[in-house]
């Protein structure tokens, strides 16, 4: 029987495809009333987002836009006239939004306890709940309920996976897929780099590059030696490719070469039928693209490592890691999470396997001075029930991502689903719910396990990080509203 896991929304915001424009939704999730009713609170959220998100906002660098604007050295009171020292503030435009914590009173832990205590015993949460709430500006724990208890995190473990990857590789890192040509120009090898988002269109572009290189090697622009043999190299990853819960519609075999995450139905998120041979499928798609580009391919593609002396004739690079991390969190993308864990392992000098990724992620979080005691990263996606994290670790991760001195970690915050609007929280909050648009959190769901970890801005204007991990629940339908109520309570204290 397939493991019960959360089913990501089919309409989350997608940082690769531009903004999601809200339209009327008769079940009450999205209406203009939400936007109008949240305008005042939106100012506070915007203030928090400016400080917490830093230069990152859905994978885009705000700093670059600011630099472009400043380059003209115009504006302000001079209304477009160039000034050597840059624009001066116009008298009619005083500062509107202060810094998030400027002049703000510290949160009262007693008030927080009073708000949360009646909610932690909700029957829907099951047999056990562990919780942590911290002030991200100070790192102070404001509320703890078994905060250092190791719990099964389900998909909230993706917060740890993406933080480690961003810390090691940086937000601008891209995963390369290459095609290597043997010295005699008779064997072309498709070399997987570990990008599960590789698409057929990307292979067509690579085939065109490879065809051009082959024509240059030939006489009079002809393919030099007739048909080429096509091989594919998946040696970048080691160890078992099947996740412990496989075969499963929530994850494809973990391999260094695949297209469209091994999906067979044309979808790009959520559960789907998966191929049992993602690397072979990718190679066959590349062979077809080569034929269309005018290259004859002899026989069927076979697995083989690229020769040491082979030269790269085509390259495709993934979207930057910032976008991959956001997509991992927004859509709860299991395939991407496992890929990022292995990329972290490679960068840390570990084997690109489940075991190597576990060591790499653990060691990187230790390097960030995070409380990893009791943590166990059996996988990068949270599908494995052997995973363990503490609520205190999750809130520490979120606080570190909010650290102004670590802007490269900001995609961990900007990728969190928004209550009632995006990703796995798209349908979780009604239009009139107090937390709609204000709670940003990663969800987690396995059979009997439910979790929620993210951020809110409280009434004092402080950015709080929270983690609520529950186990022993009888149904997600009962646990999720109880978790949402806990997160919503933080917006009103």
Q: Per residue in 284-301, pLDDT tens?
A: 999 999 999 999 999 999
Distance CA(168)–CA(324), nearest Å, equals: 14
How does pLDDT run across 297-335, given as a tens digit for each residue? 999 999 999 999 999 999 999 999 999 999 999 999 999
Q: Which of 102-116, 151-165, 286-300, 355-369 has the lowest mean pLDDT?
A: 102-116
The 10 Å Cβ neighbour count of residue 260 is 24
Distance CA(317)–CA(25), nearest Å, equals: 37
Average per-residue pLDDT in the chain? Answer: 83
Residue 318: burial class (beta carbons within 10 Å; 0-12, 13-18, 19+): buried
What pLDDT score does 217 carry?
77
Residue 394 pLDDT level (bands cut at 50, 70, 90): very high
What pLDDT score does 136 carry?
96
Question: pTM of the entire structure?
Answer: 0.81
What pLDDT score does 35 carry?
33
How does pLDDT run across 103-121, given as a tens digit for each residue? 455 677 888 999 999 999 9
How long a stretch of residues is the chain?
Answer: 493
The 10 Å Cβ neighbour count of residue 317 is 14
Cβ pair 333, 185 in contact under 8 A: no
What pLDDT score does 432 carry?
85
Active site residues: 155, 158, 332
How does pLDDT run across 8-37, given as a tens digit for each residue? 333 333 334 333 333 333 333 343 333 333
Residue 61 pLDDT level (bands cut at 50, 70, 90): very low
What pLDDT score does 109 carry?
86
What pLDDT score does 430 carry?
87
């Amino acid at each position: 029987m397939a493991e019960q896991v959360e089913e990501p929304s089919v309409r989350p915001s997608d940082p690769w495809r531009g903004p999601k424009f809200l339209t009327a939704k008769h079940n009450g999730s999205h209406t203009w009333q939400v936007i109008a009713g949240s305008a005042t609170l939106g100012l506070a959220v915007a203030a928090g987002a400016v400080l917490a998100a830093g230069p990152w906002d859905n994978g885009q660098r705000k700093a670059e836009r600011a630099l472009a604007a400043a380059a003209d050295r115009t504006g302000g009171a001079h209304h477009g006239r160039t000034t050597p020292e840059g624009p001066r503030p116009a008298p009619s435009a005083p500062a509107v939004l202060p810094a998030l914590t400027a002049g703000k009173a510290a949160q009262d832990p007693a008030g927080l306890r009073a708000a949360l205590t009646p909610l932690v015993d909700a029957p829907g949460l099951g047999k056990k709940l562990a919780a942590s709430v911290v002030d991200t500006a100070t790192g102070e724990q404001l509320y703890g309920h078994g905060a250092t208890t190791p719990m099964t995190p389900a998909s909230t473990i993706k917060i740890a996976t993406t933080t480690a990857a961003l810390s090691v590789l940086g937000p601008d890192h891209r995963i390369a897929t290459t095609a290597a040509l043997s010295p005699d120009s008779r064997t072309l090898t498709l070399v997987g780099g570990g990008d599960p988002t590789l698409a057929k269109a990307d292979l067509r572009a690579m085939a065109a590059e490879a065809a051009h290189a082959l024509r240059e090697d030939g006489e009079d622009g002809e393919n030099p030696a007739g048909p080429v043999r096509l091989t594919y190299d998946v040696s970048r990853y080691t160890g078992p490719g099947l996740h412990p819960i496989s075969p499963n519609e929530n994850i494809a075999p973990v391999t260094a070469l695949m297209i469209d995450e091994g999906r067979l139905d044309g979808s790009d998120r959520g559960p789907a039928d998966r191929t049992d041979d993602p690397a072979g499928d990718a190679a066959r798609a590349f062979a077809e693209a080569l034929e269309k580009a005018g290259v004859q391919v002899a026989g069927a593609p076979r697995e083989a490592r690229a020769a040491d002396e082979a030269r790269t004739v085509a390259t495709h690079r993934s979207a930057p890691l910032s976008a991959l991390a956001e997509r991992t969190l927004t859509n709860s993308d299991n395939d991407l999470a496992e890929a990022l864990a292995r990329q972290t392992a490679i960068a840390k000098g570990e084997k690109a396997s489940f075991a190597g990724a576990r060591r790499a992620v653990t060691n990187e979080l230790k390097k960030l001075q995070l409380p990893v005691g009791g943590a166990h990263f059996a996988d990068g996606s949270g599908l494995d029930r052997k995973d363990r994290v503490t609520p205190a670790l999750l809130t520490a991760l979120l606080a570190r991502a909010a650290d102004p001195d670590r802007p490269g970690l900001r995609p961990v915050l900007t990728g969190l689903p928004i209550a009632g609007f995006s990703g796995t929280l798209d349908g979780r909050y009604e239009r009139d719910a107090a937390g709609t648009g204000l709670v940003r959190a990663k969800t987690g769901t396995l059979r009997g396990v439910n979790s929620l970890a993210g951020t809110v801005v409280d009434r004092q204007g402080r950015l709080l990080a929270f983690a609520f991990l529950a186990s022993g629940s009888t149904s997600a339908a009962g646990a999720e509203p109880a978790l949402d109520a806990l997160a919503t309570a933080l917006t009103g204290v």
